Structure 1
Amino acid sequence: MRRIAVCPGSFDPVTLGHLDIIQRASKLFDKVIVLISVNAAKTPSFSSTERVMMIQEVTKDLDNVVIDILDGLLADYVRDVGAIAIVKGLRAVSDFEYEFQMALANKKLYAGAETVFLTTTAENMYLSSSVVKQIAYFGGDISHFVPMEILGDIQDRLMQEKGVKHEY
């Protein structure tokens, strides 16, 4: 039996913190599905397709990682793909309270999957997609926060949103 895990998130954009959790999950499970969740309450900077392509680029060396898009309930998706775990990264205690509530709700909706929490490394404790977008918006250097393979794409898009063309 293959151990499949789902690693959901918005990944708008994918950060080094996300990549760390994905890489670590890939060592624990036979297959990891990085699941881009659509959140109707948010307006993303990158389309779902662009996020898929960015994650594919930075995980191309991880043979057991695939990327998919979800526009529905996570518990239903986990059941449909036969996953045994939902992998979530935790940066701080404040993340735990929300993620714990979500884990309980998902368990109630589908008892067949456990939520596994991976704590972030110390250097990524403060890191989020929102932080990356805020720094980039004001022209700050985000090279320490996102994978180098997609740095230019992220800078171009976030500066474009501000109306500034990034020069290399």
Structure 2
Amino acid sequence: MKIALFPGSFDPITIAHVDILERSVSLFDKVFVGIGLNSNKKSLLDAQTRLEIIKAVFGNNEKIEVITYEGLTVKFCKEINAKYMIRGIRTVSDFEYEKAIAQMNHALVPDIESIFILSKPGYSSISSTIVRDILRYGGEVEKFVPPAAIPFLKSCQF
């Protein structure tokens, strides 16, 4: 069985994340969307809200499971028997950053492969960081997040 992990903070999930996942799911038997919890980072949305949003977006897809984790991503891959890690690439700087992480991960756990999927050109400027800033300052994010996320985001106080 081919199992992959698509890790990230998903704070919040964007249409760019959705696109990467939808394009990669046909390559694997099972894809875990892993919400990485990092106590050193100040998240806009709590982990439970992020989990609920992603489940609302992908709830009907039996090949996708949403889960939270802490610690090293490659260690979590081993825990869920994932041999592949999916990473989205928007820009050259994303590639350089992700390449360095992939090489370190490979040094730590050689049997886990990083799979890079290029974003569609129209999504290259969309990031969770920018969406968080728009939310904090009361802007409209409907163009940047999946429709299923909107009710969750409207109910949050920023």
Partner of 2:76: 77
After superposition, what is the alpha-carbon deviation per residue over 1:27-46, rounded to whole angstroms, capped at 9, x for unaligned?
A: 11110000001122211111
After TM superposition, the score normalised by the length of structure 1 is 0.89
Partner of 1:115: 114
Alpha carbon RMSD of aligned pairs, Å?
1.1
Query: Cα distance, 1:147 vs. partner?
Result: 1.0
Is 2:99 the partner of 1:100? yes
Query: Cα distance, 1:48 vs. partner?
Result: 1.2
Partner of 1:28: 27
Distance in 2 separating the partners of 1:149 and 1:57: 6
- What amino acid is aligned across from residue 105 of structure 1 in structure 2? M
State the structure with more CA Rg.
1
Partner of 1:46: 45
Give the match's secondary structure for 1:83: coil
Query: Cα distance, 1:129 vs. partner?
Result: 0.9
Contact 1:84-1:113 at 8 Å conserved across structures = yes
Q: Which runs of 4+ in 1 moved over 4 A?
A: none
Unaligned runs of 5+ in 1: 162-168
After TM superposition, the score normalised by the length of structure 2 is 0.95
Query: Cα distance, 1:140 vs. partner?
Result: 2.1
Percent identity between matched residues is 33
Distance in 1 separating the partners of 2:74 and 2:115: 14
Is 2:150 the partner of 1:143? no
Name which structure has the greater RCO, CA cutoff 8 Å, separation 6+.
2
Query: Cα distance, 1:96 vs. partner?
Result: 0.9
Query: Cα distance, 1:72 vs. partner?
Result: 1.1
- What amino acid is aligned across from residue 61 of structure 1 in structure 2? N
Count of residue correspondences: 158
- What amino acid is aligned across from residue 66 of structure 2 in structure 1? I
Partner of 2:124: 125
Query: Cα distance, 1:150 vs. partner?
Result: 1.7
Unaligned runs of 5+ in 2: none
Contact 1:23-1:62 at 8 Å conserved across structures = no
Distance in 1 separating the partners of 2:62 and 2:104: 31
Query: Cα distance, 1:62 vs. partner?
Result: 1.7
Name whichever of 138-147 and 108-117 sits farther off.
138-147
